[in-house]
Amino acid sequence: QDEVLKQSALHPKPAGLCLQYGTAGFRTNAKQLDHIMFRMGMLATLRSKKTQATIGVMVTASHNPEEDNGVKLVDPMGEMLTPAWEDYATQLANAEQDDLARAVKEVIQKEAIDMSREANVFVGKDTRSSSPALSQAVIDGVSALGGHNYGLVTTPQLHYMVWCQNTKGKYGEATVEGYYRKHCQAYVQLTKNASNRTDDQKHLCVDGANGIGALKVREMEHHLQKGLQISLFNDGSKGKLNHQCGADFVKVQQKPPADIEINPGERCCSFDGDADRIVYYYTDSDGRFHLLDGDKIATLISTFLKELLTQAGLDLNIAVVQTAYANGSSTLYLENTMKVIVKCTKTGVKHLHHEAQKFDIGVYFEANGHGTVLFSQAAVEKIQQLAEDANSDDTKKRAALLLQSTVNVINQTVGDAISDMLLIEAILAVRGMTVQQWDAMYTDLPNRQLKVKVSDRRVIDTTDAERRAVSPAGLQDAIDSLVKKYRQARSFVRPSGTEDVVRVYAEAETQESADALAHEVSLAVYRLAGGLRLPICP
Ligand code: G16
């Protein structure tokens, strides 16, 4: 108790400041976060004592601008913090200074935590200028309880190392080098199945968003044994983090990053600021921009896996998990052409992850490029048995070996731009497919995203995986009648969990209709939900 009081006085909470645990932890201007970091260090220590496992704390604000920062907590299996503990996080974050010791004690009592147990916390940070001081505040919170500071890592690398540590190395070695070795070896193994590729085919332009992902791609490259030739842009040497670059910018603006020279037809991808999201794109000979977002990625991966399962003769169920942002065309294609199970959850990888766990193979991707693939233990065992079965025929064996390497190239803990990139590149290589052929699998419905600033975004409450608004009164009726004006139209609104805005999504038969619908729905939000600023194009 005395220690909590003494240490926390060095990381005082501004009186009256109230912050909410959002879609992926706390996120706001870095100046408001010192006390939050200290307190999340303490919470991670408590969670570690409770679970008797290693817990991760990642200091990052991902896709947000450079002046913001945030914190994500990583649970024992490398997944996001369990929702039951999000409430404790909010309680600790908002306890006034003189009430903090009591708030900590309450968590200890409610969870019956044995404080004499050891704690182990892994701390990581991104490249923001505020991250060193804020991660020091986390370490102060963990204080003398045995934390391990990893320094600069991507968010998914930290998730990966937490899981490796808790499985005592069964999932891999709990180091960044171990991460590179495992994923790159699997990539090299997979691409041995590709017929001779030219240097052009191996070439990929990567936009590192001026963030941690750029540094890590550089560090990893030599493990790929020239199997991928990367031209790295926005590597942090001059530009600002996420500014006019990165996965969020490309997805929302539907155009390439500002400072990147792309030749027509060239395959490109963008990471976000902490490298847990990826989107692909190219421009055609008419200069038209083509985006291959999380939906297209999920389609490519699930098609590949389904083909391999058929070739291997393995009876494993496979599902794709999406959110309301998934393009309507992708859902139709997956259900009607691919004949895979499709599920829809609320935004936030924690929701998608848990839904994906219900299947033998769960492919989950948010349209913004955040996603991965989960293989159940039973699926991994069946694949392994077949790969080792001396009596299986060549086609089955080849498919099983490809599936085995696919399992190893993926970071199953959380969406991971780097390992997703390796998987996508390997699939294109093995199938001898160009980015244009991949793009042609289905045609996206034109869509538009806008943001509206309101006085309190919590007035908007949603249901049906965020596809319908239940409050404020009249908003859903207004959306319904606006949607009726356009063909193949759909629209929804939801409060963001990472920025202080309401997000508006609309899709329709033409870009003009999608733009008009998004605009009209934004005006309805402004009118009915206490608008402060008219629609902002993000
Ligand atoms: C986080 C979450 C994602 C979510 C995104 C936007 O991503 O991990 O699941 O899609 O925020 O959320 P919202 O619309 O609630 O602001 P990241 O990459 O920023 O950590």
- Is residue 536 scored above 90 in pLDDT? no
Q: What would the pLDDT profile of 447-506 be if each residue is shown by its tens digit?
A: 999 999 999 999 999 999 999 999 999 999 999 999 999 999 999 999 999 999 999 999
Q: Is the CB of 462 under 6 A from ligand 1?
A: no
The arithmetic mean of pLDDT across residues 351-379, rounded, is 98
β-sheet bridge partners, residue 371: 365
Q: Which atom of ligand 1 is nearest to the CA of 80?
A: 8
- The pLDDT of residue 289 is above 80: yes
**pLDDT at residue 116 above 70?**
yes
62 φ/ψ angles, rounded to the nearest 5 degrees? 45, -115
Spatial separation of the C-alpha atoms in residues 150 and 436, rounded to whole Å:
39
Q: In this predicted structure, what is the pLDDT of residue 144? A: 43
Answer whether 272 contacts ligand 1 (Cβ < 6 A).
yes
Full set of structural domains in the chain with CATH: 2-152 (3.40.120.10), 178-290 (3.40.120.10), 294-412 (3.40.120), 447-536 (3.30.310.50)
Average pLDDT, the chain: 94
Ligand 1 atom 2: residue of nearest CA: 348
- pLDDT tier at 195 (50, 70, 90 boundaries)? confident
Instruction: Tell me the mean pLDDT in the region 13-40.
Output: 93
pLDDT of 261 above 90: no
* H runs (alpha helix) in 242-364: 246-253, 294-312, 328-332, 349-356
For range 411-432, the mean pLDDT: 97
Best mutation site among 498, 500, 501 for ligand 1, i.e. most ligand atoms within 8 A of its Cβ?
498
Q: Please write the tens of the pLDDT for every residue from 142-184.
A: 874 445 677 899 999 999 999 999 999 999 999 999 999 999 9
Mean pLDDT for 12-22 is 90
Residue 432 is which amino acid?
Answer: G
Residue 62 near ligand 1, beta carbon < 6 Å = yes
Supply the pLDDT for residue 148.
65
Question: Is residue 226 packed enough to be buried (19+ CB in 10 Å), middle (13-18) or exposed (0-12)?
Answer: exposed
Poorest-pLDDT segment among 108-117, 365-374, 469-478: 108-117
**Residue 276 CB less than 6 A away from ligand 1:** yes
- Which protein residue has the closest C-alpha to ligand 1 atom 4? 348
The reported pLDDT for the residue numbered 531 is: 79
Quote the ligand 1 centre to 347 CA distance (angstroms).
Answer: 7
CA distance 490 to 251: 18
Q: How far, in Å, CA of 528 to CA of 301, rounded?
A: 41
The average pLDDT across 121-142 equals 95
- Give me the mean pLDDT over the 225-232 stretch: 94
pLDDT at residue 391, rounded to an integer? 86
Atom number of ligand 1 nearest to Cα 352: 9
For ligand 1, is residue 347 a contact (CB within 6 Å)? Answer: yes
Give the pLDDT band of residue 9 (cuts 50, 70, 90): confident
Return the active site residues: 62
166 residue type, one letter = N
Residue 537 reports pLDDT greater than 80? no
Q: Ligand 1 center to residue 348 CA distance, Å?
A: 6
